[in-house]
Structure 1
Amino acid sequence: MDYTFSKREKLKSKKLIEKLFTEGKSVSKYPLKLIYVKADLNDEVKVQAGVSVSKRNFKRATDRNRIKRLIREAYRLNKNFIFNNIQTQYAFMFLYIGKQIPKNYDEINKNMIKLMQKFIDNEN
């Protein structure tokens, strides 16, 4: 398993993002929330993922970008956990619902692992 987050794994389709927020299910582990929906993806990837941080809670773009970077890195290093436990294709959107900037990467990584475990439990 490679630990990359390539261009075809990134969620960019406006139709798919809209479908995520209208029909998607969610699981959360504070301060992260995962919205997911089964999708028919053109590429041979199992999951396409996107990351979002609220502008309402974090006014400065540098803060939002740092949080998104931390979430993407935690997903990139732990995505094999999901890939080994699912058979169908999904679209994911990770939302940061916390009010404070995370102190370090370990806090995000620990919650990302728990969030993925919740997702696997819900789908099986």
Structure 2
Amino acid sequence: MKFTFNKKDKLKSSKLIEQLFSEGKSVSAFPLRLVYLPTTFSDGATFKTAISVSKRNFKKAVDRNRIKRLMREAFRLQKHNYINNMSEPYAFMILYIGKEKPTLSQIEVKMAQLFEAFSNKVSGQ
């Protein structure tokens, strides 16, 4: 699998995002939280992901954008370890719920823990 995060991998549907928060399940590895929902996609994608940072905790758009950039990079580097093993397609929303600005290394470690928890929870069902 390539280490990319293409347009087809991004979750853009507002209906699906709404459904994700109303029906989805979640796992956490502070300061990250993953909300996921098994679903099907018309384009045949195995996953779609959205990333969000709260405006309440980070007032400046510069800070929110930096954290989102770090989270996308950590996800891009980690996804091949977990996405290849999925049997059904999922919609993901990754939320940053901390109050302090993280570094890339902190985000990478927590992203690995987050997807490990997701894998354990899904395989345990």
**Structure 1 residue matching 2:94: 3-state secondary structure:** strand
> What is the match of residue 30 of structure 2?
30
Give the Cα–Cα distance (whole angstroms) in 1 for the partners of residues 43 and 96 of structure 2.
Answer: 27
> What is the match of residue 120 of structure 2?
121
Give the Cα–Cα distance (whole angstroms) in 1 for the partners of residues 64 and 8 of structure 2.
Answer: 23
Give the Cα–Cα distance (whole angstroms) in 1 for the partners of residues 15 and 40 of structure 2.
Answer: 12
Give the Cα–Cα distance (whole angstroms) in 2 for the partners of residues 58 and 78 of structure 1.
Answer: 25
> What is the match of residue 16 of structure 2?
16
Across the aligned residues of Structure 1 and Structure 2, the Cα RMSD in angstroms comes to: 0.6
- What are the ranges of 5 or more consecutive residues in structure 2 without an aligned counterpart? none
Give the Cα–Cα distance (whole angstroms) in 1 for the partners of residues 114 and 92 of structure 2.
Answer: 12
Instruction: Calculate percent identity across the aligned residue pairs.
Output: 52
List aligned pairs for 1:1-124, cutoff 5 A.
1-102=1-102, 104-124=103-123
Calculate the TM-score normalised by the size of structure 2. 0.96
Give 1:39 deviation, angstroms: 1.1
Give 1:85 deviation, angstroms: 1.8
- What are the ranges of 5 or more consecutive residues in structure 1 without an aligned counterpart? none
Q: Number of aligned pairs?
A: 123
Could you tell which deviates more after superposition, 52-61 or 76-85? 76-85
User: Which portions of structure 1, spanning 4 or more consecutive aligned residues, are displaced by more than 4 angstroms?
Assistant: none
